Amino acid sequence: MKKNIFVLFCLSVFVAIVGIFFYPTLFGGKLPVPSDSLVGLYHPWRDMYAKDYPRGIPFKNFLITDPIRQQIPWRKIAIDQWKQGQIPKWNPYTFSGTPLTANVQAAVFYPFNILFFIFEFPVAWTMLIILQPLLAGILLFAYIRRLKLDPMACLLGAVAWSFSGFSIAWFTWGTMVHIAMWLPLVLLSIDKLIEAQKFRQSITWLLVFVFGLSMQVFAGHMQVALYVIGVALAYAGYRIWQLQSRRGKAIFWLLVGIGAFVLITSIQWLPMMKLVFESGRIAEGESWLREGWFIPWQHLAQFLTPDFFGNPTTLNYWGTWNYGELVGYIGVLPLLFGLFVLFGKRSKDTVFWVAVLIAALLFALPTPLARFPYQMRFPLLSSLQPTRLMVVIDFSLVMLAAIGFDGWLRKKEGIRWSAILVVGITLVVLWLVVLGGGENFQVSKRNLILPTGVFIAASFLLLVPNLLKKFKVIYPVGMLLVGITAFDLLRFGWKFTPFTPREYFFPETQIISFLKQQEKPFRVMSLDKRILPPNVSAYYGIETIEGYDPLILARYEELMAAIARGKPDITPPYGFNRIVTLETVDSPLLPIFNVRYVLTLADIERPFLKKILQEGETRVYEYTQGLPRAYFVSDVRPANNKQSVINGLFDPLFYPKTTAIIEGIVNVADSKDAIEDIATIISYSPEGITIETNTSEEKFLVVSESYSLSWRVVVDGTPGALVRTNYNFFGTLVPTGTHRIEFSL
């Protein structure tokens, strides 16, 4: 009974710590969202607030703009489509159209999306963020408790895991930590499934096992999911290897679970793989050679002092780019207890986590083993950035820390002076480096003070139970150590994580209201990266030709690169680095993109541009040469390969209004331009496009929507031939007369 009360007490303490971290939200109404970066960095939001903030709204962390440029807009698109009764398949708002189901980071099938059906989007997103540390800690607590560790050791592990460097760095994304937080549940289910004696128990834990694995895939980041699922499967293999009997039964249930998991999650990974092979990501080239692809050796210092190289929030970061990928801090005390295990007697449980830690470090650091897959150019594997292995490194360290703390609490292990000596010597070396260094090391010097103080205090407190043997002080001292760890990690987390006023969450400006009110479909483009950053417009339902995504349809990226270069050159690298923008209105190919409005920060004089609106520094021009989303052409030119197509587009005799370059065989003769030929879009949605046509003769219909293998066309109920057109878009042959053309996914 007393044990259960103490378990509940430790769990309550953990929940309270999470509540303290989110006090700006719980008591101040602020959102754990970097929306201050949106209104502080980008137009037209800067224009909206210019009167009160002439230099722009101050923003806390310029490094974490991705949640407002990727995760939030993508989730908003998916949720909106679900609410309309549609399976989210297509994103029409970026890249002139791109697959959505295949975009794992949109988390289309994540069960926690139910929150968005109950609450307003900002509230639901905030709850999604808060659930990360809360569930991560509770689930880890449950798993560690199953290993018979002391409840206080479970508490330390929960705090260290929930507010680790990996967790804090990726909190605001709302995806990666959601993936990682299910790992303890999967590990627990593996143990329970292997131990189950009764059929009902086996079924129960089989369902939990499948649920946990599936949640990791659906939560929104495939690379992190691959890493944590890999750990889980290795753990299952290790547990089976430890069995003295009933191995066949355990293997059977685990294989059934894995099979069910693969089948269930195929709705996510099959579209993703399809997009991977349609994109340029499969052959990223020499990305692995850039600094920061692996964890640099010197950045191991961040495991002891997270801000040794500064911090982006204080604008003094001078380390390798970027901070978020390289910080693996779990707290000085947990690191110390983890080293206790490394330097002490290792049980069967600790051997596994030591092996996982070593393996993760070998592949995350720039070792010959880590470089090998990239040198050999293994497909897919060579596109994975190894710094994301930080999730495995941190989890392994936390497991070792909890085990080490448990040993100290139970007095099974004495103080490992070798571990204290290693940390102490490391700190001394770091101090010697910074004291003799230049200006950058002044930053390091300031940021070494707190970790050093925590280490000294912890070392003293570890001695107290030995000095006061007559008194039972080990648990009070243990709770004090947990308190110091919580203070250390919460301070670290608060420093990095922005909490912003709700009114900053995607506010609607004059320009955005204007664009939303215009008759659709049409696209906009920006001539300056400071205006309407890629993907953000999707939150408002505004379509653009720009986009920001690791997976971009290869044809679109190639076409945009050729236009930017001003010649039919589609050779990589394209120079976009996942953010595709076009900063020219002078290309003769721009009309085929269905651009109607151009945004700029400067006045532009062009005969085809008409100034419509200005809000602060941001101007809106109407682009009068833009073609409709669907239009007929009279001159259809076939091409044999993509280079021939791009050559044809850059031919001086290519006229966007009347010409189309197609890939494939379409038996259509050149026809006359006819004003009476009509193509009317009667339905346009992410689910499909329906067009009514009326022509005096057989015509070729061009649709300015990105081609994908998923598109299908039906003419009057009969399947038709969809033809890749103008390199990236699609079209189809329309018979004479009145017809109904339906394009669907």
What residues pair up with 714 in beta bridges, in sequence order? 719, 742
Q: Specify the pLDDT at position 439.
A: 86
How does pLDDT run across 465-506, given as a tens digit for each residue? 777 665 678 899 999 999 999 999 999 999 999 999 999 999
Q: Specify the pLDDT at position 246.
A: 84
The CA-atom distances, in angstroms, between 353 and each of 177, 414, 739 are 20, 21, 65
* Band of residue 290 on the pLDDT scale cut at 50, 70, 90: confident
How many helices (H) and strands (E) would you count in the chain? 27, 19
Nearest-angstrom CA–CA distance, 421 and 434: 20
How does pLDDT run across 498-526, given as a tens digit for each residue? 999 999 999 999 999 999 999 999 999 99
Q: Specify the pLDDT at position 345.
A: 75
Give the residue extent of every domain in the chain: 2-30+101-496, 507-623, 630-744
Q: Report percent pLDDT > 70 for the chain.
A: 97
Q: Which amino acid is at 700?
A: F
Enclosing H/E stretch for 225: helix 222-242
Identify the burial level of 70 via C-beta atoms within 10 angstroms of its C-beta, where 0-12 means exposed, 13-18 middle and 19 or more buried.
buried
* Band of residue 182 on the pLDDT scale cut at 50, 70, 90: very high
Q: Report the pLDDT averaged over residues 369-380.
A: 87
Judge whether residue 669 has pLDDT over 80: no
E strand spans, 230-332: none
Kindly state the DSSP code that residue 233 receives in the 8-state scheme.
H
Which of 139-153, 271-285, 425-439, 617-631 shows the lowest mean pLDDT across its residues?
271-285
Tokens of 692: 């009514």
* Band of residue 675 on the pLDDT scale cut at 50, 70, 90: low
Q: Specify the pLDDT at position 245.
A: 82
Nearest-angstrom CA–CA distance, 340 and 334: 10
- What is the bridge-based pairing of β-strands 635-639 and 659-663? parallel
* Band of residue 348 on the pLDDT scale cut at 50, 70, 90: confident
How does pLDDT run across 700-709, given as a tens digit for each residue? 999 999 999 9
Q: Specify the pLDDT at position 282.
A: 55
Q: Where are the alpha helices (DSSP H) in 497-641?
A: 510-517, 536-539, 554-565
* Band of residue 670 on the pLDDT scale cut at 50, 70, 90: low
Tokens of 173: 């994304």
The CA-atom distances, in angstroms, between 19 and each of 26, 140, 703 are 8, 18, 52
Q: Report the pLDDT averaged over residues 552-563.
A: 96
The CA-atom distances, in angstroms, between 557 and each of 206, 446, 546, 549, 578 are 43, 45, 10, 11, 9
Q: Report the pLDDT averaged over residues 597-625.
A: 97
* Band of residue 673 on the pLDDT scale cut at 50, 70, 90: low
Query: Please, what is the average pLDDT of the chain?
Result: 94
Judge whether residue 576 has pLDDT over 90: no
Judge whether residue 150 has pLDDT over 60: yes
Q: Specify the pLDDT at position 146.
A: 95
Q: Specify the pLDDT at position 284.
A: 56
* Band of residue 281 on the pLDDT scale cut at 50, 70, 90: low
Judge whether residue 656 has pLDDT over 90: yes
Q: Specify the pLDDT at position 4.
A: 87
* Band of residue 662 on the pLDDT scale cut at 50, 70, 90: very high
Judge whether residue 651 has pLDDT over 60: yes
Kindly state the DSSP code that residue 500 receives in the 8-state scheme.
B
* Band of residue 628 on the pLDDT scale cut at 50, 70, 90: very high
**Contact predicate 527/585, CB 8 Å:** yes
* Band of residue 413 on the pLDDT scale cut at 50, 70, 90: low
**Contact predicate 660/651, CB 8 Å:** no
Kindly state the DSSP code that residue 386 receives in the 8-state scheme.
G
Judge whether residue 414 has pLDDT over 80: no
Tokens of 628: 């409709």
Kindly state the DSSP code that residue 244 receives in the 8-state scheme.
S
Q: Specify the pLDDT at position 471.
A: 60
Nearest-angstrom CA–CA distance, 159 and 137: 6
